[in-house]
Amino acid sequence: MNKYQDPERKDWVIGIALLVIYVLAISLGAVCLLPEYWWGWLLIVFGGMLYLVLRQTKNYACRCRKCGHEFEISFLVNLLAPHGVDKEGSWEWVRCPACEKRTKSTVIRIVKTKS
Ligand SMILES: [Zn+2]
């Protein structure tokens, strides 16, 4: 079973850096590829998004702000759920499996344990 912990500074730095690279790649791609190579640009947009969400699904879980239950979410939920950041950290708007409330859940890091 996985353990969880609050994200560290490193998580923020890497997360923000990846987002910046993604936005830069999209902007640069738009300048260089559009309109002739629109499919190449779409590949960057969707490929990048897929990678970011997959990475998020593998490395991060959620903690319900109502009852404190910690749970992992699927790729699809991760892709579709609204995300945001407030003073308690970054959150996702997902349904908690314990109290069954749809609420903001704090994003926490999955600590890999050797099995
Ligand atoms: Zn809950």
Structural domains of the chain, count: 1
CA of 93 to the centre of ligand 1 (A): 12
pTM across the whole model: 0.87
CA of 41 to the centre of ligand 1 (A): 40
Q: Which residues, at least 6 apart from 108, have a Cβ–Cβ distance to it below 8 Å?
A: 4, 5, 6, 7, 60, 61, 62, 63, 70
Q: What is the pLDDT of residue 54?
A: 97
For residue 67, the enclosing domain spans: 3-111
pLDDT band at 107 (very low <50, low <70, confident <90, very high): very high
CA of 33 to the centre of ligand 1 (A): 46
